[in-house]
């Protein structure tokens, strides 16, 4: 039986992870849950699952709400130290990192150093510190298994093959809610419009990233580190049906694709059960009913965040950290209707050009420039 810590159990990936794990009670046991502000849901999860540990990341909420857990036999922790503690518990085998933002960076690093397998849905860790995390994983002989549907697809298409035989990987994108919307119309779109993803049910931040195509740009950077690729080996195409989740082309020009109807439960279960494949009850693809799979080039001029991500990883060092932190702050501002859609890409680019970026040498560099960038963006928005 694998014992699990879920970082970010109240978010979209966290709740789906709990749902799929509950179907395999003899295979998985949840030891620890963590949340930030949704205490009502965290309390409900704790009551039903009965983990040994719960972490309330927000210190203010922890002090005000900790007493709600008093009737339960659970140790309640708080803050970053709490996340690190449950990510490194001796009796935990796998840590699911599904938090949003660089909050998940230190717990992931410490989990790797404690020789825990990491199932990762947190893009920011690999975007900002992928080189460091992958070196640590190699050093400690730890698997970092992707939960993202696109990177899970690549991982599955690689089984039985070698990284050195890859010609390129092809990341697919749905195109988001504005795929067929003119640039002029997009300029006036509010966050409520951008949240209406055509295929996937996701959290608010990642839904906006999908609308701007920043999500795909971040996945490009992730793919570089996860699979030791050059940036020239990574392509992005729009596939509106979201049936092919990504593809790997080998040097003999054979292309292997992973396909399914859009659901996060398949990549979650595969990451947690790897190298096994466990049966699950889910609708299969009806190709006759589907009729056709279509592909198109991304509209890079209308969705400039994609090219900004390519530029960031080409420049290297701490530029991806600046890209990520600026984007995060700007997405939150957009969700509050404080800025327009294209302000996101405009100010991300401004931040990337503002800092005299030095070489990435440590996690401390990432944390320092992450904070510097957030402060810079907040000053601009004032």
Query: What does the H/E/C string look like for the chain?
Result: CEEEEEECCCCHHHHHHHHHHCCCCCCEEEEEEEECCCHHHHHHHHHHHCCCEEEECCHHHHHHHHHHHCCCCCEEEEHHHHHHHHHCCCCCCEEEECCCCHHHHHHHHHHHHCCCEEEECCHHHHHHHHHHHHHHHHHCCCCEEECCHHHHHHHHHCCCCCHHHEEEEEEEECCCCCCCCCHHHHCCCCHHHHCCCCCCCCCHHHHHHHHHCHHHHHHHHHHHHHCCCCHHHEEEEECCCCCEEEEEEECCCCEEEEECCCCCHHHHHHHHHCCCCCCCCCCCCCHHHHCCCCCECCCCCCCCHHHHHHHHHHHCCCHHHHHHHHHHHHHHHHHCCCCCHHHHHHHHHHHHHHCCCCCCCCHHHHHHHHHHHHHHHHHHHC
In this predicted structure, the answer to whether residue 296 has a pLDDT above a threshold of 80 is: yes
Mean pLDDT (the chain) is 94
pLDDT digits (tens, 9 = 90+) for 259-277: 999 999 999 999 999 999 9
Q: Write down the pLDDT at residue 242.
A: 94
**Per-residue confidence at 199, pLDDT binned at 50, 70, 90?**
low
Average pLDDT estimate for 355-379: 90
Average pLDDT estimate for 7-31: 95
Side by side, the strands of the sheet bearing 94-97 are: 75-78, 53-56, 28-35, 2-7, 94-97, 117-120, 144-146
d(CA 155, CA 36): 30
Domain ranges of the chain: 2-146, 151-263+289-308, 316-382
**Per-residue confidence at 200, pLDDT binned at 50, 70, 90?**
low
Q: Write down the pLDDT at residue 342.
A: 97
**Per-residue confidence at 102, pLDDT binned at 50, 70, 90?**
confident
Asked if the domains at 2-146 and 316-382 fall in one CATH topology, the answer is no
In this predicted structure, the answer to whether residue 255 has a pLDDT above a threshold of 60 is: yes
For residue 244, give every residue at least 6 positions away whose Cβ sits within 8 Å of its Cβ, in sequence order, or none: 153, 172, 257, 258, 259, 293
Angle in degrees, CA 215, 270, 211, rounded to 5: 15
3.40.50.1010, 3.10.20.740, 1.10.1740.10, 1.10.10.10: CATH of 316-382 = 1.10.1740.10
User: Parallel, antiparallel, or unpaired: how do β-strands 75-78 and 94-97 relate?
Assistant: unpaired
pLDDT digits (tens, 9 = 90+) for 66-85: 999 999 999 999 999 999 99
Average pLDDT estimate for 99-123: 93
In this predicted structure, the answer to whether residue 51 has a pLDDT above a threshold of 70 is: yes
**Per-residue confidence at 202, pLDDT binned at 50, 70, 90?**
low
Angle in degrees, CA 370, 374, 375, rounded to 5: 120
Q: Write down the pLDDT at residue 201.
A: 60
Q: Write down the pLDDT at residue 206.
A: 85
Average pLDDT estimate for 29-58: 97
In this predicted structure, the answer to whether residue 368 has a pLDDT above a threshold of 60 is: yes
Lowest mean pLDDT among 261-265, 292-296, 331-335: 261-265
Q: Write down the pLDDT at residue 358.
A: 73
pLDDT digits (tens, 9 = 90+) for 123-171: 889 999 999 999 999 999 999 999 999 999 999 999 999 999 999 999 9
Largest Cα–Cα distance in the chain? 62
Q: Write down the pLDDT at residue 282.
A: 85
2.120.10.30, 3.40.50.1010, 3.40.50.720, 1.10.600.10: CATH of 2-146 = 3.40.50.720
pLDDT digits (tens, 9 = 90+) for 56-70: 999 999 999 999 999
């Amino acid at each position: 039986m694998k014992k699990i810590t879920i970082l970010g159990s109240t978010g979209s990936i966290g709740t789906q992870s709990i749902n799929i794990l509950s179907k395999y009670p003899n295979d998985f046991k949840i030891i620890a849950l963590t949340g930030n502000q949704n205490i009502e849901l965290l309390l409900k999860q704790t009551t039903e699952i009965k983990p040994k540990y719960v972490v309330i990341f927000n210190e203010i909420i922890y002090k005000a709400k900790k007493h709600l857990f008093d009737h339960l036999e659970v140790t309640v922790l708080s803050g970053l130290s709490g996340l690190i503690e449950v990510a490194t518990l001796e009796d935990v085998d796998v840590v699911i990192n599904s938090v949003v933002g660089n909050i998940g960076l230190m717990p992931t690093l410490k989990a790797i150093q404690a020789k825990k397998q990491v199932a990762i849905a947190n893009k920011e860790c690999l975007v900002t510190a992928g080189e460091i995390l992958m070196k640590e994983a190699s050093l400690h002989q730890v698997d970092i298994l992707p939960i993202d549907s696109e990177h899970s697809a690549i991982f599955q298409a690689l089984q039985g093959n070698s990284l050195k035989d890859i010609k390129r990987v092809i990341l697919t994108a749905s195109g988001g809610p504005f795929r067929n919307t003119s640039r002029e119309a997009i300029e006036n779109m509010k966050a409520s419009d951008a949240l209406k993803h055509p295929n996937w049910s996701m959290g608010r931040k990642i839904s906006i990233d999908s609308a701007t195509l920043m999500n795909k740009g971040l996945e490009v950077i992730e793919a570089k580190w996860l699979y030791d690729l050059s940036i020239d080996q990574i392509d992005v195409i729009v596939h509106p049906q979201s049936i092919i989740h990504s593809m790997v082309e080998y040097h003999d020009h054979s292309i292997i694709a992973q396909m399914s109807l859009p659901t996060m439960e398949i990549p979650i279960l595969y990451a947690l059960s790897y190298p096994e494949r466990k049966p699950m009850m889910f609708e299969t693809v009806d190709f006759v009913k589907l009729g056709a799979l279509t592909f198109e080039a991304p509209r890079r001029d209308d969705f400039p965040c994609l090219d900004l991500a390519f530029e960031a990883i080409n420049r290297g060092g701490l530029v991806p950290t600046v890209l990520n932190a600026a984007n995060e702050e700007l997405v939150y501002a957009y969700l509050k209707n404080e800025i327009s859609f294209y302000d996101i890409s405009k100010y991300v680019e401004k931040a990337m050009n503002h800092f005299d970026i030095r070489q990435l040498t440590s996690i401390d560099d990432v944390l320092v420039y992450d904070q510097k960038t957030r402060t810079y963006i907040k000053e601009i928005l004032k």
